[in-house]
Amino acid sequence: MKTFTIVAMAFLFVFVGMQRFAQADEMKANIEDMKGKAKANAQESKGEVKALTEEAKGNEMSGAVERAKGKTKSAGERIKGKAKELKAKTE
């Protein structure tokens, strides 16, 4: 009976320890996802500001190009954030 209790306690300590690591990985994954979204929003905002500046100068075509660049960089940042999130989940 004593051996069974010791084995059960050891199993519980291992299980609780693994659960803590899983929660830490989940937290890190959420942080990476949020950072990716924040960077994506920043890139999109930069593109929009540049586009508005160009349009104010009268360059409609340059404004459209800058807006497209911002959206492209934004998508890239979202992809990077998602990749880092998945990597953090698998660690």
- For the chain, domain boundaries: 25-90
pTM score of the predicted model? 0.63
CA angle 33, 17, 81 (to 5 degrees): 10
**Count helices and strands in the chain by DSSP H and E runs:** 2, 0
Q: Which two tokens stand for residue 67?
A: 């807006």
User: What does the pLDDT read at residue 3?
Assistant: 73
Nearest to 76 by CA among 88, 87, 68: 68
pLDDT digits (tens), the chain, 91 positions = 567 667 666 656 656 655 555 556 788 888 888 888 898 888 889 889 989 998 898 888 988 898 998 889 888 888 888 888 888 877 7
User: What does the pLDDT read at residue 32?
Assistant: 85
